[in-house]
Structure 1
Amino acid sequence: MIGGVSAGYFCNKYGRKGTLLRNNLLNLLGGLLMMFSDNAKSYEMLIAGRLVIGICAGIFTGAAPLYLSEIAPISLRGFAGVFNQLAITFGVMISEILGLQFILGTAYYWKYAVGMTIVPMCLQLCTLIWCPESPRYLMLLKSDEESAEKALKWLRNKVDVSDEIEEMRIEGERMRKSKKFSITDLFHHKELLTPLIIGLVMQLSQQWGGINAVIYYSTEIFEGAGLSKASAQYATVGVGGVNVAMTFVSALIMDRAGRRTLHLIGLGGMFVGSVVLTIGLEYQSHHKWLSYLCIVAVVLYIIFFATGPGSIPWFIVAELFDQQSRSAAVSLAVLTNWFANFCVALGYPEMNTHLKQLSFVPFVCLLFFFWLFTFFKVPETKGRSIEEIRQMFQQPINVSSDDGTVQRGGKTKYTLIPTDEPPVT
């Protein structure tokens, strides 16, 4: 949470790419502290390493989606955003594999497992250093049009990028006429409050839908379903593989199906999976075959989570806000996400102790609420420029129940359609 709320500040001070590169110093420090804590016989080093890695992770989860959303063209913005989640799910799966007892999950080799966080740091230093800084950051925050144009040409692999430069120039003029922006300003402007609420509720839907209860305690869930300890570990790794595969599928269809549609499908599937899992856990002692139904329910839950809720909340916040307010909104969204994660990590064991087989009932209720909120309040952002999305929130809006159509002030109803033609005022 500390890293997440500070991500916006560092992104504005050092740039998106600059923040990602500098953050690797924290990654290195945390990894070394954890890896050598055993040799030094110091649990204090392990705790300090975890603290540093936590701050590092918070900054990364704010800076990476922000960078990706700003360098991607409109047609691939969703694709790039989902690939951020794909990297996360791949990392989760790798950590689960490394944690198996016959690999690094032993009393001696565990220190190397936690030290593996240094490996992606090396990969990023070898690759990201050759990539350009975010053109929008260069143009709108550093007022360096020449560097922004150069970065855009490199990213788009074409000579003429005048359309995007002109769009940023118009946005820059509006920013210069406005006062300096801070996180508290998000709550003082009506046109920003609605997208902020949408962004924060979508962050909550990702975490309070129960995903980390499934991820953190999947092995225990499988053991409770009748699998041996070894088989339960392998099943957990299999669930991680399903998560990676479905996130990749989500990336391929995100810019075709749309954010709102996939989020609704994902939340609906998670709701059904949670209901089936709860019923299976409650009655498995009476019917042995329900143990296998619990495993199927967990797999289906993961599939639908990866379809939309796993990735969309991370990058849709960057789509809902313009350059001036984006960093502040992303910081607050990341803070909310990690706080919700924190609540589930600490709260689910207590829920499991007191509610036992009914421990997923609270998640079922929350998933129903999040589905209704998305259905009635979340507009579609697929194929729309930042300026078009910003204009959607100039007045109170309602969303049509069928296709995400925007309705302003209860009077005029219309659908924003992406086009290559210049906007007509």
Structure 2
Amino acid sequence: MIGGVSAGYFANRFGRKGSLLMNNGVVVVATGLMACSKLAKSYEMLIVGRFIIGLSAGVNTAIAPLYLAEIAPTAFRGLTGTFNQLSITTGVLVSELIGQSFALGTEKLWPALLGFSIVPVIFQLIVLPFCPETPRFLILNKGLDEEARTALTWLRGSSNVTDEVEEMRREREEASRQEKFSVRNLLVDPFLRHALIISLVMQLSQQFSGINAVIYYSTDIFEGANLSEAVSKYATLGTGVINVLMTLISALIVDRAGRRTLHLIGLGGMFVFTTVLSLALIFKDSVSWFSYLSIVSITFYIIFFATGPGSIPWFIVAELFAQGPRPAAVSLSVLVNWFANFTVGLGFPEVKDAIGPYTFIIFAVLLALFWLFTFFRVPETKGRTIEEIQNLFKATRAPVLYREINVTEEDIG
């Protein structure tokens, strides 16, 4: 949470690419502390390392989607943004695999397991310096038009980037006519506040859907459904594989189907299978095959999560805001996401101990509410430029402003 809320400052101060590179240095320190904690016989090093790598994770979950959204052409923003989630789900799966007892999850090898985080760091430190800073940051934040044109030419593989450069220049000119942005504007400005509420609820819909209750405690859930410990662990790994595959499919169709459509499909499917999972866990002692129904329910639950709610909340925030408020909005959204993650991770075991399998009914109710909010309040951003999305918010506010000032047709005449 701390890393996420501070990411906007770093993104504006050091750039998107610069912040990502600097953040790798933080991971090197954290990995060193964790990997050497056993050798040094110091649990304090392990705790400090975990704290530092948590800061890094918060920064990454804010700036990586921001960087991707700003380098992607309008027609492929969804594809690019969803590949961010694909990397996350792949990382989760790799972590689950190497954390097994047949790999690095042993009494002797767990320091190497925690030190494994250095591998993606080395990869990014090698390849990211060859990538450009985002053209939007170069034009709107730094006023470096020619550098931005060079970056766009590299990214697009073509010198025909005049239209995109001109669009960014118009956005800069419009921003220069407005008062300097502050975080307070997100709450005061009606257009920004509308977009911020959508962004925050989208983050809550991801975490309060119950996904981390399923991921964190899937093995316990399967064992509670009367499956053996070995079968439960392999079932958990299977859900990780499904999550990766479905996220890949989502990446390939998101720019055709649309963000809003996939999010609605995902939330609706999760609602159905959360309800089925609840019934399977409640009546598992009465009907023997309900134990296997719980596996089927979790499998389809993961499929629908990966369809939309897994990826769309991460990158839609960057689509809803212009350059000025975008880093602050992304930071606040990541803060809310991690807070919701923390709440579920901390509260789910207590609630499960108190009400047992009825716990998932709570998530089913929340999923229904999030579906209604998405249906009535979330706009479709597919294929729209930032300018068009901003105009869309202004258009949705126009009838409200008309009523507030109480103008009649006679007054207009």
Query: Which whole-Å CA distance do the structure 2 matches of 1:5 and 1:380 have between them?
Result: 26
Query: Which whole-Å CA distance do the structure 2 matches of 1:255 and 1:410 have between them?
Result: 31
Query: Which whole-Å CA distance do the structure 2 matches of 1:226 and 1:34 have between them?
Result: 36
Aligned position for 1:107: 107
Aligned position for 2:399: 409
Correspondence 1:9-408 to 2 at 5 A: 9-396=9-396
TM-score scaled by length of structure 2:
0.96
Query: Which whole-Å CA distance do the structure 2 matches of 1:113 and 1:270 have between them?
Result: 32
2:394 aligned counterpart, secondary structure: coil
Amino acid at match of 1:153: T
Aligned-residue offset at 1:239: 0.5
1:191 aligned counterpart, secondary structure: helix
Cα deviation digits, residues 347-376 of structure 1 (max 9, x gap): 100111001111111111100000000011
Amino acid at match of 1:328: A
2:164 aligned counterpart, secondary structure: helix
Amino acid at match of 1:303: I
1:394 aligned counterpart, secondary structure: helix
Aligned-residue offset at 1:152: 0.3
Aligned-residue offset at 1:395: 4.5
Query: Which whole-Å CA distance do the structure 1 matches of 2:295 and 2:133 have between them?
Result: 44
Aligned-residue offset at 1:102: 1.2
Query: Which whole-Å CA distance do the structure 2 matches of 1:52 and 1:159 have between them?
Result: 42
**Conserved 8 A contact 1:153-1:160:** yes
**Conserved 8 A contact 1:191-1:395:** no
Query: Which whole-Å CA distance do the structure 1 matches of 2:253 and 2:399 have between them?
Result: 32
Query: Which whole-Å CA distance do the structure 2 matches of 1:117 and 1:28 have between them?
Result: 8
Query: Gaps (5+ residues) in structure 2?
Result: 403-413
Aligned-residue offset at 1:327: 0.6
Amino acid at match of 1:2: I
Query: Which whole-Å CA distance do the structure 2 matches of 1:183 and 1:325 have between them?
Result: 7
Aligned-residue offset at 1:329: 0.5
Aligned-residue offset at 1:410: 7.8
Amino acid at match of 1:291: S
Name which of structure 1's ranges 281-290 and 178-187 shifts more when overlaid on structure 2.
Answer: 178-187
Query: Which whole-Å CA distance do the structure 1 matches of 2:42 and 2:273 have between them?
Result: 43
Query: Which whole-Å CA distance do the structure 1 matches of 2:183 and 2:299 have between them?
Result: 39
TM-score scaled by length of structure 1:
0.93
Aligned-residue offset at 1:179: 2.6
Aligned-residue offset at 1:411: 12
Cα deviation digits, residues 394-422 of structure 1 (max 9, x gap): 1445xxxxxxxxxx52899xxxxxxxxxx
What is the RMSD of the two structures over their aligned residues, measured on CA atoms? 1.2
Aligned position for 2:405: none
Aligned-residue offset at 1:180: 2.4
Query: Which whole-Å CA distance do the structure 1 matches of 2:55 and 2:378 have between them?
Result: 30
Amino acid at match of 1:270: M
Amino acid at match of 1:119: V
Query: Which whole-Å CA distance do the structure 2 matches of 1:294 and 1:55 have between them?
Result: 35
Aligned-residue offset at 1:60: 0.2
Aligned-residue offset at 1:181: 1.6
Name which of structure 1's ranges 208-217 and 220-229 shifts more when overlaid on structure 2.
Answer: 220-229
Aligned position for 1:418: none
Amino acid at match of 2:284: Q
Amino acid at match of 1:162: T
Name which of structure 1's ranges 85-94 and 176-185 shifts more when overlaid on structure 2.
Answer: 176-185
Cα deviation digits, residues 150-186 of structure 1 (max 9, x gap): 0000001111211001000111111222232222210
Cα deviation digits, residues 173-221 of structure 1 (max 9, x gap): 1122223222221001011111110010000000000000000001101
Query: Which whole-Å CA distance do the structure 1 matches of 2:70 and 2:92 have between them?
Result: 26
Amino acid at match of 1:97: L
Query: Which whole-Å CA distance do the structure 2 matches of 1:387 and 1:101 have between them?
Result: 52
Aligned-residue offset at 1:105: 1.2
Query: Which whole-Å CA distance do the structure 2 matches of 1:337 and 1:410 have between them?
Result: 30
Amino acid at match of 1:278: S
Query: Which whole-Å CA distance do the structure 1 matches of 2:37 and 2:183 have between them?
Result: 38
Query: Gaps (5+ residues) in structure 1?
Result: 398-407, 413-425
Query: Which whole-Å CA distance do the structure 2 matches of 1:352 and 1:112 have between them?
Result: 33
Amino acid at match of 1:329: A
Query: Which whole-Å CA distance do the structure 2 matches of 1:129 and 1:384 have between them?
Result: 30
Structure richer in helix, relative to its length: 2
1:213 aligned counterpart, secondary structure: helix
> What's the % identity of the aligned pairs?
58
Query: Which whole-Å CA distance do the structure 1 matches of 2:9 and 2:149 have between them?
Result: 24
Cα deviation digits, residues 293-345 of structure 1 (max 9, x gap): 00000000000000000000000000000001101100100001000001000
Cα deviation digits, residues 111-147 of structure 1 (max 9, x gap): 1111111111011111111000000000000000010
Amino acid at match of 1:54: G
Query: Which whole-Å CA distance do the structure 1 matches of 2:46 and 2:67 have between them?
Result: 31
Q: How many residues align?
A: 402
Query: Which whole-Å CA distance do the structure 1 matches of 2:306 and 2:57 have between them?
Result: 20
Amino acid at match of 1:276: V
